[in-house]
Chain A
Amino acid sequence: MELKQLYREIVNEHNLHPTHKGTMENPDLVLRGVNPSCGDDITLQLRVQDDVITDAKYDGSGCAISQASVDMMADQIIGKKKDEAIKMAGTFVGMIKGEVTDEESIEALDEAAALQDVAHMPARVKCAVLGWHTMQEMLEHPEKALNQTNE
């Protein structure tokens, strides 16, 4: 898919009309993810009950690819178990880096698989993986992401 088509068919919708953008009340985990080269800056918030992600929201700003990617990610991980979400992050990052190419793994990413062609745009890889990296970091190292305002 060429870049303009990718924007028009996938990215713009999530960037201009995001489903999961906003602030969550009392999230269990909160982590800021920053991409210094672009200035992408998100704060991801997760609610986790019995090892299942029951809600995900993000706030912040950045380029359309970073924002659309995290919005799509939120769609995909809500309702998933923590280890499933971590596995998906591995698949997504692998896909974007061009290391994971088998269709079966990629299909598991559902809509997020549409970003596969970012693999051909090295300058935008960091934008696409920012949300997934942040999510993986907070699930694997929850001590870095504990919500300080929670009792």
Chain B
Amino acid sequence: MGRATDYRKDFDILNTGDYIYFDNAATSQRPRQVLDAVSEFYKTSNANPLRGLYDWSVAATEQYENARKKVAGFIGANRAEEIIFTRNTTESLNLVAYSYGMENVSEGDEIVVTVMEHHSNLLPWQMVAKKNKAKLIFLEPDEEGVISKEEYESKITDKTKIVAVGHVSNVMGVTNPVKEIAEYAHSKGAIVVVDGAQSTPHMKVNVQDLGADFFAFSGHKMMAPMGIGALYGRYELLEKMQPFLTGGEMIEYVTRTDATYAEIPHKFEAGTVNAGDAVGLAAAIDYIENVGFDFIIEQEHKLTKLLMDGLSKMPYIKVYGSSDPAKHCGIVTFTVDGVHPHDVSSVLNDDHVCVRAGHHCAQPLMQFIGAGSTARASLYFYNTEEEVERFLDKLSKVREVMGYGA
């Protein structure tokens, strides 16, 4: 019994029935420690944070602000004020698009994205580009999923105002050379927005080392509750930006016709905040740091290798992205000859195996790799070798179920 098996004891859902959960890139499972932390917040210190002058509200505020400090430390931000709590990566990226993009991109400017972006890091930029008459430029990867130096150096130019890039592709699992791209982008005067939804659960992130001006991620992919995410923004940039949403508790002073806004980060957190889930996110960070990224990476590599080795023995299966299991972040996207991915997923579901099928909210990438839709198995450290073997066994029978020979 390895460490993964020990950690599984913390996840009630993984111990109910015989389900194999291989859709961690969509959302992870949550350990009891996270669920308990949220529950404890509501049981012991629930009040509207940042407003009340009584003990409970002070306690709620303190827990909420401690969660912010925890997030800042987790991703290597300089100061806690650079962390804005949002619902998720999508909201974080929309905040940047509206409050920074709309104001700083003009006609004729260029916004550079990669063709492998999740729609959440594409559609906000499409909107900015359309509205401000800017041009959207796409970085394209090679067969192995790698964006080369030549590629980004030829497409990031003096006209580039924003480079928006996913840290890890949710389809290929490949880690993009964000640090190198950011360095080059900065030399051209552009700012860099990083979608960290798929990286934060799997690797140590340091936003300053990466050179990210903005970095967005979701809690729910890293064992925190759904509905809490964060945006890191460089202090000087956030300070100059206008609010995204306006309303309660983001103001200094309001008259009938005008208002001055609160300091960051509260300027960007209008309305009652999601303190309960922020506390859950802090607990998830504690849990991850206790497990340690060394173990997470080691376990994911081991499982991904076992999975890809098994898939390579099935000649009717095509795997997308790198041939190196270490470059997949636990994400393995594949197709089965003659069988539509939705049928693959439905047949596997019949065997209690959960995998995603479809376009994975990355339709331009699907068009680029020439697949209308694919199936995706995505692993996390609490998955086991036994699960991978059982998955491979079930998958090897899918074509037979679908009427291809015996």
Which residue numbers of A lie inside 8 Å of B, CB to CB?
A: 2-4, 7-8, 12-13, 15-16, 37-39, 41, 61-65, 121, 123-124, 127
Contact = CB atoms under 8 A, between A and B. Distances in A.
Given A7-B401, A38-B358, A124-B342, A61 B372 contact: yes
Interface of B: 339-343, 346-347, 349-350, 357-359, 372-373, 401-403
B359 A65 contact: no
Residue among B339, B342, B347, B373 with max Cβ neighbours from chain A (10 Å): B342
B399 to A, nearest CB: 11
A7 B403 contact: yes
B347 A7 contact: yes
B403 A127 contact: no
A64 B350 contact: no
A2 B346 CA distance: 11
Contacts of A64: 339-340, 343, 402
B358 A39 contact: yes
B373 A123 contact: no
A59 to B, nearest CB: 15
B403 A38 contact: no
A7 B401 CA distance: 7
Nearest to A3: B350
Contacts of A123: 342, 346
B364 to A, nearest CB: 14
A8 B403 contact: yes
Nearest to A65: B343
B403 A15 contact: yes
Nearest to B403: A12
Given A7-B401, A15-B403, A38 B347 contact: no
A68 to B, nearest CB: 10
A38 B402 contact: no
Given A38-B373, A39-B373, A127 B402 contact: no
B403 A16 contact: yes
- A interface, over-half SS: helix
23 contacts: A3-B346, A3-B350, A4-B347, A4-B350, A7-B402, A8-B401, A8-B403, A12-B402, A13-B403, A15-B402, A37-B358, A38-B357, A38-B358, A39-B358, A39-B359, A39-B373, A64-B339, A64-B340, A64-B343, A65-B343, A121-B346, A124-B342, A124-B346
A127 B372 CA distance: 15
Contacts of B372: 39, 41, 61
Nearest to A35: B342
Contacts of B402: 7, 12, 15, 64
B343 A7 contact: yes
A8 B404 CA distance: 10
Contacts of A41: 372
A38 B372 CA distance: 9
Nearest to A64: B343
Nearest to A127: B342
A4 B403 CA distance: 10
A-B pairs, top 3 by smallest CB distance, nearest first, are A12-B403, A63-B340, A63-B342
Contacts of A65: 342-343, 346
A62 B359 CA distance: 13
B279 to A, nearest CB: 33
A127 to B, nearest CB: 7
Contact of A3 (B339, B347, B358, B373): B347
A44 B358 CA distance: 23
Contacts of B358: 37-39
A19 B349 CA distance: 29
B401 A4 contact: yes
A102 B263 CA distance: 64
